[in-house]
Structure 1
Amino acid sequence: MKWVKNEFEKLRRSEEGFSLTELLIVLAIIGILVMIAVPLYQNVTTRAKTTEAKTQLSFLHTLQKTYRLEHDTYSDDFASLGFEQESLITEGGRARYEIEITQAGPNSYTATATSIIDFDNDGQLNQWQVTEDGTIEQTVPD
């Protein structure tokens, strides 16, 4: 009987594992890392999505410059510029921004790219703007 008790004690001492405290500490560390990483990841994805707006506005600016060289005025018509708005994701397409020429005249124009999706669910839609000097700037952050 003493032999069984000694064997049981050996087995009990040789078992290796983690205590509840150690597991809780590891879970707390993982939780902290997740809390740090998720906001950083969301910012990266939002910046990647805004690249679409900047690219489209830059292309539109190039078309406007070319049009002005030929016609001595800026155009408010996409067809005359040769610009085609890609289908929005709400219509089965891939575009997240709706492009619009808000003002055009002989010496200036303004075009905007307005997001159709609220990236961070704060009730504001991201908006970018380009003018005749080619400056692309964010007018409404999201």
Structure 2
Amino acid sequence: MIKKMKSKKGFTLIELMIVVAIIGILAAIAIPNFLKFQAKSKQSEAKTNLKAVYTAETSYFGEFNQYSSFDDINWEPVGSQVRYRYTLGDGNDLGNTSYSSSAVDWTDDNGGTATPAIAADNSAFTAGAYGNIDNDDTPDCWAIDDSNDLDNTLNDV
């Protein structure tokens, strides 16, 4: 009697281990890039809001011939989840006054938080945005001034 050999269908353990290893290698390459792109997309909040501060300050200056505080220019951050703390100071100083959200937990180099003090002066302003967008020790810092110069003063990406 000749017995027919049954053909076995399926994958061997080695083949499955190779597939798992390939998926692991692809994930190891893709995840850091994804986190970097995610952090870069979070930076758009600061850029958009600082451009809005510039527009509001410029409009206020056109009407009243001076720059002023967030309250006077009627500005607050856009969005339901604010990742940055926004400050407004005179022409050379960041951190004099701040708009703060409970979603932002940023402290300065000395361990203290930015506290409100003064607004922009009559002839110049600098607005800043501080936030920790990737949960490390380095904050992401942006600044814009009355000449519309947007600068990433400390990049957290």
Superposed structure 1 runs of 4+ greater than 4 Å apart: none
| Structure 2 counterpart of 1:101, from 79, 84, 88 | 88
1:129 aligns with 2:147: no
Structure of larger gyration radius: 1
Distance (Å, rounded) in 2 between the aligned partners of 1:121 and 1:53? 16
Aligned residues: 127
Query: Shift of the alpha carbon at 1:86?
Result: 5.7
The answer to whether the Cα contact below 8 Å between 1:85 and 1:98 also exists between their aligned partners in 2 is no
In the aligned structure 2, how far is the partner of 1:71 from the partner of 1:29? Answer: 64
The structure where helix makes up a greater share of residues is 1
For normalisation by structure 1, the TM-score amounts to 0.79
2:104 matched to which residue of 1? none
Residues 109-133 of structure 1 deviation map (CA, whole Å, 9 limit, x = unaligned): 1000111xx3323201211111111
Sequence identity (%): 33
**2:82 match: secondary structure:** coil
Gaps of 5+ in 1: 88-92
Q: RMSD of the TM alignment (CA)?
A: 1.9
CA contact 2:47–2:142 (8 Å) conserved in 1 = yes
The residue aligned with 1:90 is none
Q: Which residue of 1 aligns with 2:134?
A: 120
